[in-house]
Every structure is written in C-alpha cells, then in structure tokens.
Amino acid sequence: MKNDKPLVGISRCLLGDAVRYDGGSKANQVVLEELSQYFEFIPVCPEVEAGLSVPRPAVQLTGSISKPKVTGRDQPSLDVSDIMQAYCHSKPAQLKLLHGFIFKSRSPSCGLNSTPVFIDGEMVTETGRGVFAKKLCEVYPQLAVIEDTQLENKELLNEFIRAVKIARLKHQQA
C-alpha cells in the first residue's frame, strides 16, 4: 500500500462514528481537527467487528487483572470473552502496516492504561488494559500508541507524532 501520510489505527468512536454500546460516539476534536492533517486513519471498533450489536449491553473487565474476562456490567452472566478473544487473535494480522494507534481510554476493549478491572464486584485497578489494546501491543511492541485523554497533553501528543514518524521510517527502510 502506498501512502503519503503515516497509517494510524484509531478506535472508531473517536472519529465520531456511532458505534459505542449506548449507540453514541466520542468524537475527538484533536483527532478530527489536528491529527487528520498528518495521518491517514484506519478505523477499528473491536466490539462491533467481533459481532456485537449497536447498541449493546455495556461490558467490563472482570475476574483477573492479567487475564480478565469481558462480562456484562449490568448482566454479570453475559460473557463475551471468547468472541472478543477470537477477534483479538485474528485482527492484528490485518494491521501490520500501521505506524501507530490511538485508543479510546477506559474501554474494556480499547483502553491503553486506564481500564477498570473488577473482582467480586470491587474495582481492583483503574489502570488496566482493554483486551484488544493488549493483544495489539503484544503483537506489535514497536507500535506508537496513545489514548485519547493523553492527546490534550502537548508533550505527549508531540512525542506520539514523533514516534509515528519514526515507525514509518523504519517500515520504509525494512
């Protein structure tokens, strides 16, 4: 694939697409007004691509920080762990050309360092990682990554832009 701009994956709701569990979006102004000038975005919504509907029951990470299940927030008997894991296993192979990824914070699928995990109904951490973000970072440890809440921080934003450019250079030289 030949592109003028670096290829950056992004949690699709941040582009303003109505794919969230509640049927809404999370349009991000830094993404839409600033970063869209520099990057070509590849939108990804793990929950929708795994086959979940819009709207859908809210899910959360439960049972373990290192190997959590993905279960219903209001319906604990709902367990979508297997379909999410199957998706997370297969999807990264389609994303090998990416130079970076912008994740939606706090999501059980997309959160980078901000997702709550619950054990026996108690929140045991607020800095967990969503199942898709975790798998993608494991498969591509050199990928430049950031989550939406960090985009407001100019220093972190500039660091991310630099890291994406470096990743792109490395791809070109490979």
Binding residue for ligand SF4, selected from 7, 8, 41, 46, defined by CB under 6 A:
46
- Using CA atoms, how far apart are residues 30 and 98, in angstroms rounded to an integer? 20
Taking the least distance from each CB to ligand SF4, the nearer of 18 and 119 is: 18
Which residues from 155-174 bind ligand SF4, rule CB under 6 A? none
Pick the closer one to ligand SF4 by CB: 45 or 80. Answer: 45
CA 46, 140, 133, 81 torsion-angle sign = positive
Closest CA to 24 of 42, 9, 45: 45
Question: Contact with ligand SF4 (CB under 6 A): which of 11, 62, 114, 115?
Answer: 11
Spatial separation of the C-alpha atoms in residues 24 and 13, rounded to whole Å: 8
How far apart, in whole angstroms, are the C-alpha atoms of residue 140 and residue 13? 22
Which 88-147 residues touch ligand SF4, going by CB under 6 A? 104, 107, 109-110
Q: How far apart are CA 111 and CA 147, in angstroms?
A: 7
Q: Which of 7, 45, 98, 117 binds ligand SF4 (CB under 6 A)?
A: 45
Among 7, 8, 15, 20, binds ligand SF4 (CB under 6 A): 20
Please state the closest distance from residue 172 (CB atom) to ligand SF4, in A.
Answer: 28
* 13 binds ligand SF4, rule: CB under 6 A: yes
The distance of closest approach from Cβ of residue 2 to ligand SF4 in the complex, given in angstroms and rounded to an integer, is 27
Q: CA-to-CA distance for 28 and 174, rounded, in angstroms? A: 33
- What does the block give as tokens for 25? 């979006």
φ, ψ dihedrals at 95, nearest 5°: -115, 20
Residues contributing to the site for ligand SF4 (CB under 6 A): 11-13, 19-20, 45-48, 104, 107, 109-110
